[in-house]
Amino acid sequence: MSEEIKITTPLDESIVLKLKAGDSVKITGNIYTGRDAAHKRLYELIEEGKDLPFSLEGQIIYYVGPAPAKPGYACGPAGPTTSYRMDPYTTALLEKGLKGMIGKGLRSKEVIESMKKNKAVYFAAVGGAAALIAKTIKKSEVIAYSDLGAEAIHRYYVEDFPAIVCIDAYGNNLYKSEPPKYRKEL
Amino acid sequence: MRKIEAREISEKVKNLFLEANFNIGKDVLEALEKALEKEESKVGKDALKMIIDNNRLASTEKLAICQDTGLAVLFIEVGQEACIINGNYVEAINKGVEAAYQEGYLRKSVVDDPVFDRKNTKTNTPAFIYTDIIPGDRIKITVLPKGFGSENMSGLAMLTAAHGAKGIMDFIVDTVRKAGPNPCPPTIVGVGIGGTADKAMVIAKKATARPIGEYNANPKYAQMEKETLERINKLGIGPAGLGGNTTSLAVHIDYLPTHIAGMPVAVNICCHAARHASGEI
């Protein structure tokens, strides 16, 4: 496990290629939120050859549907949601320049292959650490699909958002490499 | 006959959902702290620390522990001598749920139609209510805000007597193995054995709310709980699924009589944000 690495968005390819599975990172800059319903809409726009509501080039999408913000808070509790539900739409987004995804849980083979091809990285955030993560979100604005409520696409400005490089652009995968080290089954 | 105002039920339901969403149980927090001491993986330890810090922060600032504040599941025991007046039982519960999710800044996570429209009901209702009629004149309410990262990892197997205790334990361990990092480990694994397919799942869900450290009163089942937990924690999945020896905090098994031809086994997993609260009217 290496030292903590500070990265800023948007990500260029040289940064992505330096990140290795197992690195702890602190992310600063703008990131975008999206989960099931927003992914479906982005995917449909790409399929139809239409413009997206924001450029994916070099960006990070955080798989999250936050709780409402209390007065005085920039954002409500906002931990990661399970990523595999976004898998059917992800390859299309990677082809459009998406460089990072933050979520939790396993990804499909297709997504990992596309990450290798398009040089992108998958970060894991700790599921359920929602109140703590929200502290690093300093600004939140809805930029598309406000009708979706918690599922709308938000732009967050984050400072030192804590995550772990889970699958790197070379296809190294912590979910595959780490558990066997602690497996004690006969 | 004891008269109970419907609005008392709404008020109680509201307060219990707020309590459950902001405050993790002492038993869960202690189990997490114990796990932190024993965890071998550095990343696992970091994840556990973050989970514990998050629970403390949520409780101090009255914030939801997890943004997935869940479907509103309730287990209610209604004394047959209790008479609910000035309102309807189910409506009173839903009113309480709506008020909690509105006032507590909790996420509304319910869609009206599972397949086609998937339109958010914006109230986090309807609640999912299991009611038992019991002797007496009290109403005992347990609320479980159930997140879906873990719910999606549920499993049901219609085993037969020939599978025995070993077959059951194999199925539980296999369900947890397949779930991997998805249900937000360390989890609490609820297991229902016997009854019917549906009833087995209901008691599995209810079992997730049993305090950690309490075992099934039947020593044979308690032994299964211990053995299964030991096997699960040898899988290596670890906190947040990033490797380690804390994959589950507890396995809670409940059982019911069943048909001569069957042995249903239901597994319902609860994430480390094991939120539940109980109260009485």
Contacting residues of A for B47, CB less than 8 Å apart: 126
**Mutation test of the interface with chain B: which of A147, A178, A184, choosing the one with the most B Cβ atoms within 10 A?**
A178
pLDDT at A97 over 50: yes
SS3 B85: strand
Q: Which of residues 113-142 of B touch A (CB under 8 A)?
A: 118, 120, 122
Distance CA A42, CA A40 (A): 6
Cα dist from B252 to B154, B192, B203, B204, B235, whole Å: 14, 9, 10, 8, 18
**pLDDT, average across residues A14-34:** 95
**pLDDT, average across residues A61-85:** 94
Same domain membership, residue B166 and residue B257: yes
Same domain membership, residue B259 and residue B193: yes
Residue B42 located in a structural domain = no
Domain of B126, CATH number, reads: 3.30.360
**A128 vs B109, B118, B272: nearest CB:** B272
Residue B192 located in a structural domain = yes
Share the mean pLDDT of chain A.
93
* Token output for B139: 């109403």
Give the burial string for B121-158 (b: 16+ CB within 10 Å, else e): eebbbebbbeeeeeeeeebbbbbbbbbbbbbebbbbbe
Of the candidates B113, B146, B179, which is a domain's last residue?
Answer: B146
Same domain membership, residue B217 and residue B81: no
Contacting residues of A for B182, CB less than 8 Å apart: 82, 84, 104-106
Question: What pLDDT was estimated at residue A150?
Answer: 80
Give the burial string for A134-172 (b: 16+ CB within 10 Å, else e): bbbbeebeeebbeebbbbbbbbbbbeebbbbbbbbbeeb
**A77 vs B63, B181, B241: nearest CB:** B63
Of the candidates B94, B125, B146, which is a domain's last residue?
Answer: B146
**B181 vs A162, A175, A184: nearest CB:** A175
Contacting residues of A for B107, CB less than 8 Å apart: 65-68, 76, 150
Strand residues in A34-184 grouped as ranges (E): 60-62, 100-103, 121-124, 137-144, 153-167
Contacting residues of B for A35, CB less than 8 Å apart: none
Asked if B3 and B15 touch (Cβ cutoff 8 Å), the reply is no
Same domain membership, residue B236 and residue B185: yes
Q: What is the pLDDT of residues A161-172, one digit of tens each?
A: 999 999 999 999
Contacting residues of B for A164, CB less than 8 Å apart: 43, 242
Do the Cβ atoms of A105 and B244 come within 8 Å?
A: no
Of the candidates B249, B208, B210, B204, the one whose C-alpha atom is nearest the C-alpha of residue B228 is B249
* Token output for A80: 């990661």
Asked if B219 and B236 touch (Cβ cutoff 8 Å), the reply is no
Of the candidates B59, B74, B70, B85, the one whose C-alpha atom is nearest the C-alpha of residue B6 is B85
Of the candidates B83, B94, B77, B85, the one whose C-alpha atom is nearest the C-alpha of residue B141 is B77
In this structure, which CATH number among 3.40.50.2300, 3.40.50.300, 3.20.130.10, 3.30.70.270 belongs to the domain A11-182?
A: 3.20.130.10
Distance CA B183, CA B237 (A): 11
Same domain membership, residue B264 and residue B162: yes
Do the Cβ atoms of A131 and B63 come within 8 Å?
A: yes
Same domain membership, residue B128 and residue B92: yes
State percent of chain A over pLDDT 90: 91
Residue B43 located in a structural domain = no
Which chain A residue's Cα is nearest to B238? A179
Question: What pLDDT was estimated at residue A186?
Answer: 55
pLDDT at A1 over 50: no
B237 in contact with A at a CB cutoff of 8 Å? yes
Contacting residues of A for B122, CB less than 8 Å apart: 149
A1 in contact with B at a CB cutoff of 8 Å? yes
Distance CA B92, CA B90 (A): 5
Do the Cβ atoms of B46 and A24 come within 8 Å?
A: yes
Question: What pLDDT was estimated at residue A2?
Answer: 52
What's the gap in Å between the CA of B29 and the closest CA on chain A? 14
Which chain B residue's Cα is nearest to A182? B236
Do the Cβ atoms of A82 and B149 come within 8 Å?
A: yes
Same domain membership, residue B126 and residue B227: no
Do the Cβ atoms of B63 and A134 come within 8 Å?
A: yes
Asked if B241 and B185 touch (Cβ cutoff 8 Å), the reply is yes
Q: What is the pLDDT of residues A98-110, one digit of tens each?
A: 999 999 999 999 9
Q: Which sequence spans correspond to the domains of chain A?
A: 11-182
Residue B12 located in a structural domain = yes
* Token output for B228: 């299964």
Residue B187 located in a structural domain = yes
Asked if B51 and B272 touch (Cβ cutoff 8 Å), the reply is yes
The reply to whether A154 belongs to the active site is: no
Q: What share of chain B is helix, strand, coil (3-state, %, to 5)?
A: 40, 25, 35
A182 in contact with B at a CB cutoff of 8 Å? yes
What's the gap in Å between the CA of A130 and the closest CA on chain B? 5
> CB count, 10 Å around CB of A41?
18
Q: What is the pLDDT of residues B16-54, one digit of tens each?
A: 999 999 999 999 999 999 999 999 999 999 999 999 999
Residue B72 located in a structural domain = yes
B61 in contact with A at a CB cutoff of 8 Å? yes
Asked if B96 and B11 touch (Cβ cutoff 8 Å), the reply is yes
Same domain membership, residue B178 and residue B155: yes
pLDDT at A88 over 60: yes
- Which one of A25, A31, A32, A39 is the catalytic residue? A39
Question: What pLDDT was estimated at residue A151?
Answer: 87
Distance CA B251, CA B159 (A): 19
Would you give the distance in Å from CA B78 to the centre of its chain? 20
Q: What is the pLDDT of residues B145-185, one digit of tens each?
A: 999 999 999 999 999 999 999 999 999 999 999 999 999 99
Cα dist from B50 to A132, B14, B47, B252, whole Å: 8, 28, 5, 25
Q: Say if strands A60-62 and A100-103 run parallel, antiparallel, or are unpaired.
A: parallel
pTM for the full model?
0.93
Asked if A40 and A86 touch (Cβ cutoff 8 Å), the reply is no
Same domain membership, residue B168 and residue B117: no
Question: What pLDDT was estimated at residue B273?
Answer: 94
Q: Give chain B's domain count.
A: 2
Q: What is the pLDDT of residues A112-170, one digit of tens each?
A: 999 999 999 999 999 989 999 999 999 999 999 998 888 899 999 999 999 999 999 99
**B67 vs A66, A149, A183: nearest CB:** A66
Contacting residues of A for B236, CB less than 8 Å apart: 178-185
Do the Cβ atoms of A185 and B231 come within 8 Å?
A: yes
B70 in contact with A at a CB cutoff of 8 Å? no
Residue B234 located in a structural domain = yes
Point out the residues of chain B with pLDDT beneath 70. Answer: none
Q: Is residue B40 left, alpha or beta, with left meaning phi > 0 and alpha meaning psi from -120 to 50?
A: alpha
Same domain membership, residue B153 and residue B141: no
Structural domain boundaries enclosing B259: 149-274
Same domain membership, residue B164 and residue B138: no
Do the Cβ atoms of B50 and A185 come within 8 Å?
A: no
